[in-house]
Amino acid sequence: MTDMTDPILVLTTGGTIDKLYFDALSEYQVGEPIIARLLAIARVTQPFEIESLLRKDSLELTDADRALIRAHVAGAGASRVVITHGTDTMTATAQALADVPGKTIVLLGALAPARFAESDASFNLGMAFATAQVAPPGIYITMNGTVF
């Protein structure tokens, strides 16, 4: 059984959740991870550790990137892992993680950048943290009020 005082490992990989733009004529770019700020605003008391693995749009993720994510998750001491990820290829990464044993792995993304006031990022992150605490080992995706 998982010790609930063990920290949840949060891995950031980029995606819309971390995107920003400089003006109305600019393209979105993946910026610095914003997860620590979101967790601070939410006053999360569950212990967690954040590691930034990648800063990419998920359409740019390669098989080598997925292998890196998988190796990091499999080798981590944490039994509960939350991964921020772009929505376009989230299911491909979930498939790459599906056979990692003994860990509750939850992927989440956002349809609007977390820096936007009307983003779904904070809600999806909260769902991911809750799922990581109560779900049995396996791979999950939390988006827009649903656990897949």
Intra-chain end-to-end CA distance of the chain, in Å: 22
Query: pLDDT value at position 139?
Result: 98
Question: Which pLDDT score is estimated for 65?
Answer: 97
In a domain, 2, yes or no: no
Total count of domains within the chain: 1
Residue 124 sits in a domain whose CATH number is 3.40.50.1170
Q: How far apart are CA 66 and CA 23, in angstroms?
A: 32
Residues of the chain with pLDDT under 70: 1-3, 21-29, 31
The pTM score is 0.88
pLDDT for 81-106, tens place per residue?
Answer: 999 998 999 999 999 999 999 999 99
pLDDT at residue 3 in the model: 66
Q: Is 102 part of any domain?
A: yes
Q: Which residues contact 10 (CB under 8 A, 6 or more apart)?
A: 35, 39, 48, 49, 50, 51, 81, 82, 83, 84
Answer whether residue 3 is part of any domain: no
CB 126 within 8 A of CB 118: no
Let me know if residue 81 belongs to a domain.
yes
Instruction: Look up the domain containing 72 and give its range.
Output: 8-147
